[in-house]
Structure 1
Amino acid sequence: DALWCSASLVCSSFGVFDTAGYAVTVGQFRSTSADASTVLNGSLVTVTGAGVAWDFVAGALSAGTSTIKFTNASAADRSFKGGGKTYWDVWFSGAYAGILGIDGSNTFNDLKSDGGLHVIEFSDGSTQSVATLTLGGTGGGARTTLRSQTSGVAWNLTCPDGEVDCEWLILKDSHASGGATFTATNSSDAGGNSGWSIVAPFVLPAGDRRVRLTYIRR
């Protein structure tokens, strides 16, 4: 059946933790030993805590088609320490504040953060491999910043093919590669980026009150 430990740290240290496709809710999750194996098996894993919310120190991971959803909306910093594993969908939901740190070089089917004023930091020199990237702000100053933990040190983003389209970003020290095209519209180049097409927002000159009218003949 479903597992509900919404205020607790769940730690896998030996044997197999198999969710069997059921919903799992934890405060934080940690895998600490090479003797531990985590099988998420298509489950929705909801993580409610901040701080080190996900910490894969050691052990095996079989993510299947699971979704790991982080729901803490506080102003506290939080981190995802992926341990270099392969994940399916990882989703940082809601209007969370504080800095989100993504540590290690990880692989995602979809790396997602709900639109808003967020700061996401990637560990220096790390590589995040994605099939899709769902990140961005909402305009009106609520942009999402993507940067490395140390200014001037690159973090890498790879996607094998297709198009990676994001909006309302502030990009810094991001090196994108891998075959896909990377486009950030209504976004800002804060320096140190490569592989991106960054399109700044259109701003009317001061005092300009142009209105576009479209006439449809019937």
Structure 2
Amino acid sequence: MLDSTLNKTELSTTELNKNELVTSELIPENAIQRDTVDAGDYYIGVVKAGQTFRILDLEGNQAADTLFYNANDPQERYSATDTIREQGNVYLTTGSQLRSDRNNVMLEIVADTCGRHDTLGGACATESNTVRYDLEKRCMHACRDSWMLAIAEHPEYGLSKRDISHNINFFMNVPVTAAGGLTFEDGISGAGKYVELKAEMDVIVLISNCPQLNNPCNGYNPTPIELLVW
């Protein structure tokens, strides 16, 4: 499915590198909610339709692995396939509409000071740590562990293991090679950079602030993020 989506959109190098840097006029002191999420920790909560929220990279070069669900019907969730197909670009930035597996617009990126966010790299897991790095890396903490802990500790959201699907890696740098492969490179974000999204429906936001130490997505030094809601 992914290969056919990439072929259909016929992504050029220009398209892959297009980004829109837009700063926000929202003032942090006016936010109705502010949460710091430590590296390796999770965030889960609901953002209402019409609200805007910001994911802030506090120290730079961090990755925030994020999933979205319709808060009123969690079986509807973010779809990388629908999002990539409709925008004709594998990266996200200002103006990108994040679509569900029913092709409904869930959120729109309204400000972005990083410029490019990954839709393809997926999330680290104990299994992928083993395959990519070493058998001894299996027990290192991973994003899928954080998501599983979040849904186990918060059953009120009605999510289960089967609801863990493809995700967005905000701030993560995963270039597409000329041969159509993926590589994990040093992050392009910096301290204080952020991405800001407006909810078009009530959404459950589930974030794993990535703890990965084995590739450069976090600069080999995972750090906190902050979540702000207006």
TM-score using structure 1 length = 0.24
Greater fraction strand: 1
Bigger Rg over Cα: 1
Greater fraction helix: 2
